[in-house]
Amino acid sequence: MDSIRVKGGNELNGRIPISGAKNAALPLMIASLLTDDTLTLENVPHLADVEQLIRILGNHGVDYSVNGRREKQQEGYSRTINFTARQIVDTTAPYELVSKMRASFWVIGPLLARMGEAKVSLPGGCAIGTRPVDLFLDGLQALGADLDVESGYVIARTKNGRLTGNRYVFPKVSVGATHVLLMAASLAKGETVLENAAREPEIVNLAECLNAMGARITGAGTSTITIEGVDSLSGARHRVIPDRIETGTYAMAVAMTGGDVVLEGARADLLERALGTLSDAGAEITAVDDGIRVRRNGNGLRAVDVATEPFPGFPTDLQAQFMGLMTMANGQSRITETIFENRFMHVQELARLGARISLAGQTAIVDGVSRLKGAPVMATDLRASVSLVIAGLAAEGETTVSRVYHLDRGFERLEEKLGNCGAIVERLSG
């Protein structure tokens, strides 16, 4: 099992290319199930989750081919991939595939919309809370689906071969359920109105792709989305947005270590709240022609309180990284997690590096320290793994992060990108 060894103490200086967003690429790939034409996606990151979803889609009959790479970019970074679901050969998504990645459960929407039936295993993914699928199922039922749960599988059917448009109010904001209902309603008969829908940029990216395929969607990016169902969708060519979580992560790494880095291709509008919080903490952030420039002078970091919220609030997927940053801030910060109930598993590992963190319910109280010391630590989930790398970049001595298969699910060539900016980061095999 691979691990990553980090030798702390070096500033980051240079340029880091921001990859396509994993959280946008996955639903876009799943949308290929909605048409028998080819969906071409540009800027798809090379990640373990993407490769796993390719295998899952292949199980349903989706062919794929990879061509080209971004101009002036090294081989292995984000790619252009063609997905063609000419014929759906199987409407079952088995446990052995779905259990490895939660987002693969989302195939239930397109399969049900196009084929009138689906049998999908209940999902897996990071162990950061229960994250039930109730909202997905309630929403599909509102569109006329008959659902049963048997032996760990959701068995879904339409009454007359097609879903029917309806009004559905999400009892709580859910990005995943919004993705699924967007795709399902695109082929439903009549109009669907989704209220209290997620507003994340990845939702907008999916809606824009579906519209390019012939869907009729308005309001994406607001809390009310209207979908006028169509009889069929065609192929399209669409670009995955840059990864706002990767952008925020590297911005925090620069704030942690000091230095001056341009995040190439990053878009500030995708994470204004997080960048504002970083500025409050002492980083200098400016927009440049080809991305975002992040700098920190020698004045140190200031403690800042933050609470995670749905977009446009502070992202839950940056909470662990920000906690890593706050471990060396001047003063006390309070970090409150409102999205997931079990997303503080990185606290114990940060403490191994010398961080002073106490928990009070869903709030972590971080008392900044003047130094961290390297130690062996273990990644517990995707975002926690990179928070330990960030802390290790500033810690004295060496930090070894084990179980980095979590990290490979969401960060494309992280050690190479950091290494090119002066960090001493090495992957250890075995």
Residue range 131-147, pLDDT digits in tens:
468 899 999 999 999 99
396 with 412, same domain: the answer is yes
Tally of structural domains, the chain: 2
Strand partners, 314: 308
161 with 303, same domain: the answer is no
Phi, psi of 87 (to 5 degrees): -140, 130
Catalytic residues, by residue number, are: 126
Angle separating helix axes 272-281 and 319-326, nearest 10 degrees: 0
Neighbours of 147 (CB within 10 A): 16
List of E strands, 90-190: 92-93, 117-121, 145-150, 153-158, 167-169
278 with 313, same domain: the answer is yes
266 with 143, same domain: the answer is no
272 with 372, same domain: the answer is yes
**Secondary structure letter of residue 270 according to DSSP:** G
Of 201, 217, 239, the position where a domain reaches its end is 239
273 with 382, same domain: the answer is yes
344 with 249, same domain: the answer is yes
Residue 210: name the closest of 184, 190, 189, 191 by CA: 184
Of 210, 239, 268, the position where a domain reaches its end is 239
Q: Under 8 Å CB-to-CB from 79, ≥6 apart: which residues?
A: 44, 46, 66, 67, 68, 69
Q: How far apart are the first and last CA of the chain?
A: 5
Helices (H), 213-339: 244-257, 272-281, 319-326
List of E strands, 349-423: 356-360, 363-367, 376-378, 398-402
Length of the chain, in residues: 430
Q: Under 8 Å CB-to-CB from 361, ≥6 apart: which residues?
A: none
390 with 314, same domain: the answer is yes
Residue range 200-245, pLDDT digits in tens:
999 999 999 999 999 999 999 999 999 999 999 999 999 999 999 9
414: alpha, beta or left, given left = phi > 0 and alpha = psi -120 to 50? Answer: alpha
pLDDT of residue 125: 42
- Give exposure, 153-189, as e/b (b: 16+ Cβ within 10 Å): bbbbbbeeebbbbbebebeebbbbbbbbbbbbbbbbb
Q: 């699928």: which residue's tokens?
A: 133
The tally of CA atoms less than 13 A away on the side-chain side of residue 319 is 29
pLDDT of residue 206: 98
How far is the C-alpha of 173 from the C-alpha of 166, rounded, in Å? Answer: 18
pLDDT of residue 77: 67
Q: In what order do the strands lie in the sheet with 306-307?
A: 306-307, 332-336, 363-367, 356-360
Of 195, 221, 239, the position where a domain reaches its end is 239
Q: For residue 335, what are its two tokens?
A: 């970090």
**Domain at 87, CATH number:** 3.65.10.10
Q: Are strands 376-378 and 191-195 parallel, antiparallel or unpaired?
A: unpaired
Burial class from Cβ neighbours inside 10 Å (0-12, 13-18, 19+) for residue 134 reads: exposed
133 with 213, same domain: the answer is yes
Q: For residue 374, what are its two tokens?
A: 């390297």
Question: Which positions of the chain have pLDDT values less than 70?
Answer: 68-77, 124-132
- Domain limits for position 102: 22-239
Q: For residue 358, what are its two tokens?
A: 């106490």
180 with 271, same domain: the answer is no
Question: Residues comprising the binding site for phosphoenolpyruvate?
Answer: 22-23
Burial class from Cβ neighbours inside 10 Å (0-12, 13-18, 19+) for residue 227 reads: buried
The pTM of the full predicted model, rounded to 2 decimals, is 0.94
What does the longest C-alpha to C-alpha distance in the chain come to?
66
How far is the C-alpha of 305 from the C-alpha of 335, rounded, in Å? Answer: 6
223 with 366, same domain: the answer is no
8 with 64, same domain: the answer is no
How far is the C-alpha of 226 from the C-alpha of 220, rounded, in Å? Answer: 8
Question: Residues comprising the binding site for UDP-N-acetyl-alpha-D-glucosamine?
Answer: 102, 131-135, 172-175, 317, 339
How far is the C-alpha of 323 from the C-alpha of 317, rounded, in Å? Answer: 11
Burial class from Cβ neighbours inside 10 Å (0-12, 13-18, 19+) for residue 315 reads: buried
pLDDT of residue 23: 95
Residue 127: name the closest of 325, 350, 409, 359 by CA: 409
* 419: helix, strand or coil: helix
Question: Residues comprising the binding site?
Answer: 22-23, 102, 131-135, 172-175, 317, 339
* 276: helix, strand or coil: helix
Phi, psi of 129 (to 5 degrees): 130, 170
